[in-house]
Amino acid sequence: MPNASTDRSDAGISVIAHRGASGHAPEHTWPAYELAMEMGVDFLEPDLQMTRDGHLIAFHDATLDRTARGPTGICTGPVAARTLEEIRRCDVGRWFNERYPERARAAFEDQRVVTLDELFARWGDRVRWYPETKNPEETPGMEEALLELIRRHGLRDAAVERGQVLIQSFSPASLHHLRSLDSELPRVQLLPADAMDGRQAEAVLHEIATYAQGVGPNRALVDAPFMAAARGAGLLVHPWTVDDPGEMAHLVALGVDGIFTNFPDRLNTLLGRDPQTR
């Protein structure tokens, strides 16, 4: 199982492609994931939503409205209210061209949602995975479906032995449930900016260490005392979401184990990595 001393890559920091290389291409689409792979990232991060018919799709929001374009009666409202077939009628790339015309590409039009099954089938153990359970309380069975896919694609043992898969969530209940289903799979507790709520980091992180192997803190939480508390608790530290090279450099200096970023190429440059050699 990964820990603070073994999870570091050769260059010392794990490059985690947040929703793929989502600064350059529409989040959670094939172009975003393909570009991240070309950049030689350590982890691909798919947020998971569950469709009405039980498929896990790579999709951030609980509703379709922000990133889906298409028939109003289908491409709006909760993801959980639609089947996979219905959601695949929606274009999930066009919004990026609308919002970022300077980064727009014709290839981003008419992109369809990607399932976790498809992602695992395409890249398997060629990259490490960082799936997040989104809204697990609203979609019972999400954790079971995730573990079934991890096992079906032969990733379970590698996840346990070398951290091939790290499962993250903002929901402690989801992580506890995952632990009850398979106690050996590594888990990471995500932390919003207000997670400390006046409490000492040491107390919070030692509590998390009873059920998780790492924390994914909002970058604003990470300072020297936080890092000392995390190390004392034996936790990995993977802050999110960092796109500014100066901020990346600051976090690297503090000793984080990895960084979530929409621009993996920027972190690669900072770390002096050549994607072609990774």
pLDDT tens digits, one per residue of 24-57: 999 999 999 999 999 999 999 999 999 999 999 9
For the question of residue 177 being annotated catalytic, the response is no
**Given 24, 55, 60, 238, which residue is catalytic?**
60
122 near 64, Cβ under 8 Å?
no
| Radius of gyration (C-alpha) of the chain in whole angstroms | 18
Q: Is residue 247 part of a domain?
A: yes
Residue 183 and residue 168: Cα distance in Å, rounded? 14
Provide the percentage of residues in the chain whose pLDDT is more than 70. 95
Token pair for 275: 């994607």
Model pLDDT for residues 80-125, shown as the tens digit of each residue? 999 999 999 999 999 999 999 999 999 999 999 999 999 999 999 9
Nearest Cα residue to 64 out of 34, 44, 94: 94
Residue 98 domain-assigned (yes or no) = no
Domain assignment present for 218: yes
Query: What torsion, rounded to 10 degrees, do the Cα atoms 252, 254, 259, 264 define?
Result: -20
- 83 found inside a domain: no
Q: Which two tokens stand for residue 202?
A: 């040491």
For residue 3, pLDDT beyond 80: no
Mean pLDDT throughout 144-168? Answer: 99
**Band of residue 276 on the pLDDT scale cut at 50, 70, 90:** low
- Selected catalytic residue, list 18, 24, 55, 153: 18
pLDDT at 11: 53
Q: Which domain holds residue 27?
A: 14-60+126-277
Reply yes or no on whether the pLDDT at 206 is more than 90.
yes
The verdict on residue 34 lying in a domain is yes
Q: Are 259 and 13 in contact (CB under 8 A)?
A: yes
Distance of CA 214 to the CA centre of its chain: 13
pTM of the model: 0.95
165: domain CATH number?
3.20.20.190
pLDDT score for 12: 83
Pairwise CA distance, residues 70 & 74, whole Å: 7
Residue 89 lies in a domain: no
- pLDDT value of residue 274: 85
Question: Does residue 204 fall inside a structural domain?
Answer: yes
CA atoms within 13 A on the CB side of 142: 28
60 is catalytic: yes
Q: Tell me whether residue 172 is in a domain.
A: yes
Number of domains the chain is built from: 1
